[in-house]
Amino acid sequence: MSRRSFLLAAAAAGVAAWAPAAADKPPVARLGKPAPAFKVADTGGRERTLAEFKGKPVVLEWTSSSCPFAAAQYESGRMPELQRWATAKGVVWLSVLSTHPSRGDYLAPAQAEAFNRQRGGVPTALLIDSDGTMGHTYGAMTADHMFIVAANGTLVYAGGIDDSESRDPKEVASAHNHVRAALGDLLAGRRIAKPSTEPFGCAVSYAG
In the chain the domains, ranked by start, together with CATH numbers, are 3-13+28-187 (3.40.30.10)
Query: DSSP for 86-105?
Result: HHHTT-EEEEEE---TTSTT
Give the C-alpha separation, 154 to 163, whole Å. 24
How distant, in Å, are the alpha carbons of 103, 104, 161 from that of 6? 18, 18, 17
Rounded mean pLDDT for each run of 10 residues along the chain, 208 residues in total:
43 37 66 97 98 98 97 98 98 98 97 98 98 96 97 98 97 98 98 97 93
Give the C-alpha separation, 153 to 149, whole Å. 6
- Residue 12: the pLDDT is 35
Give the C-alpha separation, 117 to 162, whole Å. 22
Give the C-alpha separation, 68 to 169, whole Å. 10
- Residue 25: the pLDDT is 64
Give the C-alpha separation, 28 to 50, whole Å. 14
Average pLDDT in the chain: 90
Please compute Rg for the chain using Cα positions: 16
- Residue 167: the pLDDT is 96
Helices then strands (H, E): number in the chain?
Answer: 7, 7
Amino acid at 31: L
CA atoms within 13 A on the CB side of 148: 26
Residue 203 pairs in a beta bridge with 142
* Contact call for residues 73 and 179 (beta carbons, < 8 A): no
Give the C-alpha separation, 76 to 169, whole Å. 5
* Contact call for residues 154 and 147 (beta carbons, < 8 A): no
What tens digit of pLDDT does each residue of 104-129 get? 999 999 999 999 999 999 999 999 99
- Residue 27: the pLDDT is 83
Q: In what order do the strands lie in the sheet with 125-128?
A: 125-128, 92-97, 58-62, 146-149, 155-159
